A and B are shown apart, each in its own frame.
Chain A
Amino acid sequence: MIVLITGASGFLGRAVAAEAVAAGHDVRTLQRRPSGVDGVTDFLGSITDADDVATAMEGVEGVIHLAAKVSLAGDPHAFHAVNVEGTQLVLAAAEAAGVSRFVQVSSPSVAHSGSALAGVGAEPASPEHARSEYARTKAQAELLALASDSDRMHVVAIRPHLVWGPGDTQLVGRIVDRARRGRLPLLNGGTALIDTTYVDNAASGIVAALHRADIAHGKAYVLTNGEPRPVADILAGICLASGVQPPRWSIPAAVGRTAGSLVERVWAVRPGADEPPMTRFLAEQLSTAHWFDQRDIREALDWSPAVSIDEGLRRLARHER
């Protein structure tokens, strides 16, 4: 199958592209920088540029749409331009090019209202309840994608939850960096159970969604390792694998949330180079349970994660050394 993967230069995108190549597909990628993945054809461009998208889409049968602005804070317009308008462009181009399978890579935050989630399925995306610009625009994008599901083009939305692994600068990089600088507190002792996803599992699940789009289409699925862990366990595991002292200090969750929203507001006025040290969204992510029912996705995609968290941490440690 000729497959177009957008955003293949990112941490997850590279893994997905490699997985698709390994599955025997003819893989093209679309993003501004070279993907660096062996065996793919890079189309350099922006998903916000209709011409770039149309060119890359020509003759394509399956699309995995990963490209997005991923960040915890920042300019709302920039989020909208990439995540909503960009997705609209990619969907329209895919329909025009006669694409039959479309995997929208989404995020569990599209349905996260801030309350604890324990063993829930994929609730409908809900932009009005989203807790960050990222989540709001990704929710809109997912709704657009699923609305495009039809007999001609089967659309599946996959929401991988907290993807991590070797070479990850987003989650692992930030955790390690902050832990090193002593700026990573635990909220309420870090006891909230969260689901995470080792990168190889996210990649194999997303490619499985492409293969099973004819069966799984029209729905969104949360994808995880299916091994919920307390936040502190995960942070400690990642820190230890990276040779950094795990966080030891804990602050009450309410304090974290207040501090987060305060910092967020200051950041909006005087944006710095880095992400803010704590956002309200992050505070909620780190202090409330969010783990998911994995029965549906495993059945629909006929897939299960191959790498356990413990094995993932071992691979991370090997990579960091």
Chain B
Amino acid sequence: MVTEAASRPPHNLPGLDPRFSRIASVPGSGLDAGLTREWHYLDNGDELARLGLPIAGTILAVHGNPTWSYYWRELLTQSVQAAEAGAAAAAAAGDASGAAAPAWRIIAVDQLDMGFSERTGIHRPLAQRVADLTAFTDALSLDGPVISLGHDWGGVVSLGWAVDHPAQLSGVMLLNTAVHHETGKPIPAPLRLARARGMLAASTVRTTAFLETTLALTSEPLDPAVKDAYRAPYRTSARRGGIGGFVADIPVDADHESYSELDRIATAVAELDLPALMLWGPRDPIFSDYYLDDLIGRLPHANVHRFEGAGHLVAEDVPYADSVLTWLGDNAASLADPGSASPSPREAIAAASASTDSDDSSFVPLWRNLDERADDTTTAVIDMSTRGQRGPQQVSWRQLSDRVSQIAAGLTAIGVKKGQRVSLLVPPGPTLTAVVYACLRIGAIIVVADAGLGVKGLTRAVRGSWPDFIIGEAPGLTAARTLGWPGVRISTAQLPKVSAAALGVSYSLRDLITLGANTSLPAEPRAEDDAAILFTSGSTGPAKGVVYRHGQLSALRDVLARHFEVTADTGLVTGFAPFALLGPALGTRSVTPAMDVSSPRTLTARAVAAAVEASGGSMVFLSPASILNVVATSGDLTAHDRSELERVHTFLSTGAPIGAELLASAATIMPNATPHSPYGMTECLLVTDITLDGIRAAAGGTHTGVCVGKPIGENLIRISALDSDGAATGTPSTEPGILGEIIVSAPHLKDHYDRLWLTDRAAARETAIDTDAANAADPADATTAPDAPSARWHRTGDVGHLDELGRLWVEGRLPHVIVTATGPIAPVGAEQDVEGVAAVRRAAVVGVGPHKLRQAVAVVETISPTRKPGLADPELTAAIRASTTLPLVAVLAVPQLPTDIRHNSKIDRTRLSEWAERLLAGGKPTAP
């Protein structure tokens, strides 16, 4: 290999401030003992010193292969900008002490043989690279706390440095990297290819193939000028030797020279008890979620954010520098003083699941009834759905209890452990019910995503949650096989050997029962253990995994039981899966009516009546989409059906709020039932509740929006007012009549989002609400437990207001708020006004024009549908304008409003707004 001294990068590289460029002479170590090596690196320390800002710590950033310190340019720049802004803010606040937010010095090295550092001509295995980095920091006499930061193979090198400097290290940050590879598992295909005999030098050194392939690993193509900047230090094959060296140094198996060093680092990382951050681009053919999952296992306390859609060069795809600086700020105290955190990060997560201060006596696990009724031969679950071709399937409490125990033992026998994730690709029915309770019982975390997400959404959900096991039927398992979903595959049905082999299925449920015959069950999980990951519908961006602990699921069951007075005799008829699953936990019989459970619109009125008759149920749960069809088919009901339906005393519409009319027409077929329309979301399934009478009482007043009633049980609601920018910045309050983001607290609120640290942070932003003070002023909350100040709060992303009676009015989604020149306007109120016009069937109010200058437009579906999309006729326009106080710049009529397929009832306002924008700019009148 060729040698060459260090040099400076060209001055005109986009985003790189040349003032940060440095060259240092470093006495070598290891293979370089006695030699001096020249390093090129970026350092914003002098710039911070020039500004006179105190430095809290140093970030030691290590690039991967084949990038260079340019990868971190944005962090250097933003760190200086943030420090300047902080100093300016402190000065403006008259803070004479100059106690600005601490500044972070960023040092980003070009590893030897890489970037603009020296070309040494010596092969540098991992141990040497770790020693090199130590030599570099020694030469710089780097003092004060250091947080390591690494990407790709730089992640490994940075962690090597980290574990070797325990006294100085105060935290670790990682972007797409890996420290461990299971022996025997093939390494990722692109690397196999690059390392193939005869290919290595050709792909990495003689040609730019490896470099160019890496530069293509972004979600959007890189700016050509940025690509060129990455190529700058690697113009000639002589300068690319390091790229080949790195690829050759990948420890593919235990015989590799760097294997033991990697193993040493991986083992030591699992002992680090310091704040950790991982930012991940999952669209990475090399450092996939497999490695993220491994790292989370080693650093379970880490803050992790997966940027859905981002690729290997995650720093080019997402505003990572923002995230890094946010995290540094959040953890400033313990990062500035290594090891000062008390409890330490590992102690903190251990404490969270050690239940020392929680009141375990109130925790009744979901499976308790199954234990207690193990000898009860009465019916627990009935499945009348069209899937059971042999007529309704009935399962007694004893059968269910036995089945759950058997599956739980079987899962234990094949090695499923507490905290491991089990993805369930099983449609609702008795099998799903049994599998769910078996997993919960042994502490395995169930991962549930609605098939409505579609294959793409499901793939994201399954890969994102990285399950250890998948339990499914043939279609789900086929998808798992074809799409390469992770997890040991378990089939609900006994498959022929050939099919099982083809689907990569390791076990069937029957196998599990056999295998578990002599296995005793592990200790029960506790209230603080994770229980479930439920995926959101994905109607507001990529579906998110919502993590519930056992205590929170039990709280959900308890609030449902208390609020709706569910007893053992109630009997639930439910076409809505989450509540169907709660039947056994509630200790009452549950029945799924005849329907295609994946398509709520297939439920008929007669099927509901038959389910009521079969179960003796008196409580009916229906989703909004199924209510439409139940009402539409109510004419088919016989006199006998109708008399059965008289038995129902409670009816719940579970999903998006529906209008009083639809609720009332559903109620007419259940004349003795009180109709309820609770409000909730995946993150908090029951927030408020309102009855049909309540809806009618609320109508006709001056309030805008959908009245969803008062908080259920101990739930608390606050409103964070919208500012003139449309952002929810107001201090959360119960003041009536203020439009803002709805914030909720409930015992059954989700714990957190899975691997979405930034989303978690945003959902809990500024929700340190002093409930004691609020309670003093608000007798309605007097029942709140005394420890309420520590209540967990969640920003729902919904907007609305409270009224004088404490009722909540929902007025739309935060992203659908129209920010006009005179302030933010939520769409739902005006939509209701417009829907009051006789000729209008459905309406959406959306904004057009620039932010803070948006104009409201009504888009309507008329009773007699228009043929072509375009302006409504003048008479209708005038009537619609007159119906609302919101100034409407235009009224558009369309044959059909675009409806979000994931929610049959939700209009896709985002798409509609973009369409209206085009049309009203003078575009061709296409369909929305």
Interface residues of A (CB under 8 A from B): 116, 118-120, 187-193, 227-230, 232-233, 236-237, 240, 246, 252-253, 287-289, 291, 293-295
Which residue in A188, A193, A229 is a CB contact (below 8 Å) of B924? A188
Say yes or no: A288 contacts B922, CB within 8 Å: yes
Within 879-928 of B, Cβ neighbours of A (below 8 Å) are at: 887, 889-890, 892, 917, 919-925
Closest A residue to B919 by beta carbon equals A191
A192 contacts across to B, CB distance below 8 A: 920-922
Q: For the complex, is B821 an interface residue (Cβ under 8 Å from A)?
A: yes
Q: Chain B 837-874 against A: per-residue CB contact (8 Å), 1 yes, 0 no? A: 00000000000111001110000000000000011001
> What is the CA–CA distance of A240 and B853 in the complex, to the nearest angstrom?
30
Say yes or no: B925 contacts A188, CB within 8 Å: yes
Say yes or no: B920 contacts A289, CB within 8 Å: yes
For this complex, into which size category does the number of interface residues on chain B fall?
20 to 34
Which residue in B848, B870, B877 is a CB contact (below 8 Å) of A193? B848
Q: Distance in Å from the Cβ of B188 to the closest Cβ of chain A?
A: 47
Say yes or no: A193 contacts B871, CB within 8 Å: no
Q: Distance in Å from the Cβ of A122 to the closest Cβ of chain B?
A: 14
Q: Distance in Å from the Cβ of B882 to the closest Cβ of chain A?
A: 10
> What is the CA–CA distance of A45 and B849 in the complex, to the nearest angstrom?
45
> What is the CA–CA distance of A190 and B919 in the complex, to the nearest angstrom?
10
A230 touching B924 in the complex, CB below 8 Å, given contacts A119-B850, A294-B821: no
> What is the CA–CA distance of A240 and B875 in the complex, to the nearest angstrom?
11
Say yes or no: A229 contacts B890, CB within 8 Å: yes
Say yes or no: A188 contacts B874, CB within 8 Å: no
Say yes or no: A189 contacts B874, CB within 8 Å: no
Say yes or no: B853 contacts A116, CB within 8 Å: no
Say yes or no: B874 contacts A193, CB within 8 Å: no
Q: Distance in Å from the Cβ of A236 to the closest Cβ of chain B?
A: 5
Which residue in A227, A233, A293 is a CB contact (below 8 Å) of B874? A233
Say yes or no: B821 contacts A252, CB within 8 Å: no
B892 contacts across to A, CB distance below 8 A: 191
> What is the CA–CA distance of A288 and B920 in the complex, to the nearest angstrom?
8
Closest A residue to B874 by beta carbon equals A236
Say yes or no: B924 contacts A252, CB within 8 Å: yes
Interface residues of B (CB under 8 A from A): 821, 848-850, 853-855, 870-871, 874, 877, 887, 889-890, 892, 917, 919-925
B874 contacts across to A, CB distance below 8 A: 233, 236-237, 240, 246
A291 touching B849 in the complex, CB below 8 Å, given contacts A227-B887, A228-B889, A232-B871: yes
Say yes or no: A287 contacts B871, CB within 8 Å: no
Say yes or no: A227 contacts B922, CB within 8 Å: no
Closest A residue to B854 by beta carbon equals A119
A-B contact pairs, 20 of them (CB 8 A): A118-B848, A118-B917, A119-B854, A119-B855, A187-B922, A188-B923, A189-B925, A190-B871, A191-B922, A191-B923, A193-B848, A227-B887, A228-B855, A233-B890, A253-B922, A253-B924, A289-B921, A291-B889, A293-B853, A294-B821
Say yes or no: A288 contacts B921, CB within 8 Å: yes
Say yes or no: A191 contacts B887, CB within 8 Å: no
> What is the CA–CA distance of A240 and B821 in the complex, to the nearest angstrom?
30
Which residue in A120, A188, A230, A246 is a CB contact (below 8 Å) of B890? A230
Closest B residue to A190 by beta carbon equals B871
> What is the CA–CA distance of A287 and B890 in the complex, to the nearest angstrom?
15
> What is the CA–CA distance of A314 and B450 in the complex, to the nearest angstrom?
55
Which residue in B821, B855, B925 is a CB contact (below 8 Å) of A191? B925
Say yes or no: A193 contacts B850, CB within 8 Å: no
Say yes or no: B871 contacts A233, CB within 8 Å: yes
> What is the CA–CA distance of A116 and B887 in the complex, to the nearest angstrom?
22
> What is the CA–CA distance of A294 and B855 in the complex, to the nearest angstrom?
12
Say yes or no: B920 contacts A119, CB within 8 Å: no
> What is the CA–CA distance of A187 and B823 in the complex, to the nearest angstrom?
33
Could you list 20 further interchain pairs (A-B, Cβ under 8 angstroms) beyond the known A188-B923, A189-B871? Answer: A116-B921, A118-B849, A118-B920, A118-B921, A190-B871, A191-B871, A191-B925, A192-B921, A193-B889, A227-B889, A229-B889, A230-B889, A233-B874, A233-B890, A252-B924, A253-B922, A288-B922, A291-B855, A294-B821, A295-B853
Say yes or no: B877 contacts A233, CB within 8 Å: yes
Say yes or no: A193 contacts B890, CB within 8 Å: yes
Say yes or no: B920 contacts A193, CB within 8 Å: yes
> What is the CA–CA distance of A233 and B878 in the complex, to the nearest angstrom?
10
Q: Distance in Å from the Cβ of B726 to the closest Cβ of chain A?
A: 15
B923 contacts across to A, CB distance below 8 A: 188, 191
A119 contacts across to B, CB distance below 8 A: 849-850, 853-855
Closest B residue to A194 by beta carbon equals B922
Q: Distance in Å from the Cβ of B854 to the closest Cβ of chain A?
A: 8
> What is the CA–CA distance of A228 and B820 in the complex, to the nearest angstrom?
13
> What is the CA–CA distance of A230 and B925 in the complex, to the nearest angstrom?
13
> What is the CA–CA distance of A149 and B242 in the complex, to the nearest angstrom?
64
> What is the CA–CA distance of A191 and B924 in the complex, to the nearest angstrom?
9
A193 contacts across to B, CB distance below 8 A: 848, 855, 889-890, 920-921
Q: Distance in Å from the Cβ of A179 to the closest Cβ of chain B?
A: 14
Q: Distance in Å from the Cβ of B915 to the closest Cβ of chain A?
A: 11
> What is the CA–CA distance of A236 and B855 in the complex, to the nearest angstrom?
21
Question: Which of B848, B853, B877 has the most A CB atoms < 10 Å from its CB?
Answer: B853
B854 contacts across to A, CB distance below 8 A: 119
Q: Distance in Å from the Cβ of A266 to the closest Cβ of chain B?
A: 25
Say yes or no: A188 contacts B922, CB within 8 Å: yes
Say yes or no: B920 contacts A230, CB within 8 Å: yes
> What is the CA–CA distance of A246 and B874 in the complex, to the nearest angstrom?
10
Closest 9 pairs between A and B when the two form their complex, measured CB to CB = A192-B922, A116-B921, A119-B853, A119-B849, A288-B922, A119-B850, A289-B921, A193-B920, A189-B870
B890 contacts across to A, CB distance below 8 A: 191, 193, 228-230, 233
B848 contacts across to A, CB distance below 8 A: 118, 193
